[in-house]
Structure 1
Amino acid sequence: MKKLGLVMLSLILLTSCKKDKVNQLETNDQEEVYAEESDLGIISDFDKKYGLWSGDFEADVVNHENSGVYSSLNIFTIVVQSIKGKKVEGYSVSAGNVRPFIGEVVETTAAGQYIVVKEPGDHKYDGVFKFTISPDKSSIKGNWYSNRKDLPVISRKFDIKKKDFNYDPTVMLKPYIEEVDGYEEESTMVDWINDREKIIKYDGGEYVTSVNRAASEEIYRINASTKKLSEKELKNLHKLDLEIIRNTIYARHGYTFANRGARQFFNYVDWYIPLYNNVENELTDVEKSNIKLIKRLEKYAEDYYQQYGR
């Protein structure tokens, strides 16, 4: 739990603690969300003509005078669809946004291809990528610079590895194994985003503390992609359990979560590669059936709140 707590600690809260609006795809009703059109046109389906790289997208330069809530760490993906001469085309995927880019190879050295590409500029979070593709294409290292200087994060850095995306219905979430005081201990999935206040009373007074939802070990056992689930299997689960089990379906398909509350549980998962902002047509009949059942049960499920240190 401590390691996951450290990951969640990277979600920096500044002056105004605004809560994300609930993303419909990740909670209740399916909502189709498409990449915005630009002068580059609609992004074509992913292909592997050149390469895909994915990994940590870390906040590098932060505007501390701007009030807001942001994630200092996200998982993101760069897809380079083609390099023809010096011209480079592709797209980036991060926090629910799939954004096309176009640019050029500035120079090629022993360190690799140094590339500068620009997103269209018609979206709040568009910017410029400057990165180097290693000679063997195994990694990309560089920075992203926001077009706007009034956002909480002005630039991000990344050193990401080449990946292959293949849908695998069998992949599961796994608990962290922590060493605490010489003993190994499994972590607990905690929702650090949607905390709530609780009044603690004691002799002589009371104080207010924050409590958070915790998931049970069932999220590591129940797979909603491989078999049709029954109400009996799910009806006693916490609401957070149901949310995570359902969102894991989308994660297997490479869905990029716009909602921070959903995103926090997949930032550390080694098999997760965000690629698409709509996967509805990719869901199997089993998955669609399970999603429908889980959503119905979520409406009546309760959550387990507890005070956690981090």
Structure 2
Amino acid sequence: RLQVHSLMHENTAAALYYGIDRFDNSTTQFILFYNLGSSQLQVTLAKYNLGMKRFSKLSSKPVENIEVLAHASSTSTGGSVFDQKILGRLLQKTQERNPKAEAKLLREANSLKKKLSASKNVLVSELDFTFEREDFETLIQPEALTEPIDRVLEKANLRLDELTQIELVGGVSRIPKVQEVIKNKYLEPQTHLNGDEAMAYGSAVYAANFTEEVRVKPIWISDKLPYPIKARFGELRESVVFKELSNLGSFKKVSLNSDSNLEITLAAKYEDTFVDFVSYQITEVELLKKKYGVTPTILVT
């Protein structure tokens, strides 16, 4: 049975892994991690510099310091979105319409997306036509690829000319059109990391800090909440307890009075909607009121 020590944003994990082998650690750098995956686009901006960390009363030394400045994401683009758009083109070439045939064509669409990243055209033998890379690229909306970058720079109050580098992670980032769009508007994107494995490696390095059996390069990392967190206290009230970009690891204390048992629900804002993700039950409130004759004050941390 695995013991969960922490939860980690996958882009933060990639940022940590990048920091292990950062070549120029003598200057402050701002690195933007562009993670285009199957279901969404996630963009994270991180600041790298050297900071002094005290290890004892008599010992301190410079360590790599990574500060996540902002996150932004979008579900309007990604590998599955591209698959559906290619599927639409394939369906125009056939009269067959049934779930089995469409499922087969969807698998073909996924394969075409990957092949067109390496080839200028691909023959679709079953439909007897050639799918051109140029046709695929017309299905990609540049604005959907760049809007989260603009948003994360705005959140961090960072100008484009202050940005050191854009690092690509995520398998869908390999599509040439994606890289072209980023290069034309911002900087030429780089691929120093293995885009499929960087997040796993980074989280493994982070987990190693919780054990004395594995020694890793000392790195100080701080992260931010990518979305606001709202708490609902039964029928009494609800409020945002953590704003977006609050420091991860922060605590909030809430005091309230209740005559009855209470359910506390936490919700995270996803896109434009708050989605519940955990609930806690405060019980025996009525027994306490009956025993002491006063309305109990509940302190929640």
TM-score range, shorter chain: under 0.3
TM-score (norm: length of structure 2): 0.25
Instruction: Flag the structure with higher strand content.
Output: 1
TM-score (norm: length of structure 1): 0.25
Instruction: Flag the structure with higher helix content.
Output: 2
Larger Rg computed on CA atoms: 2
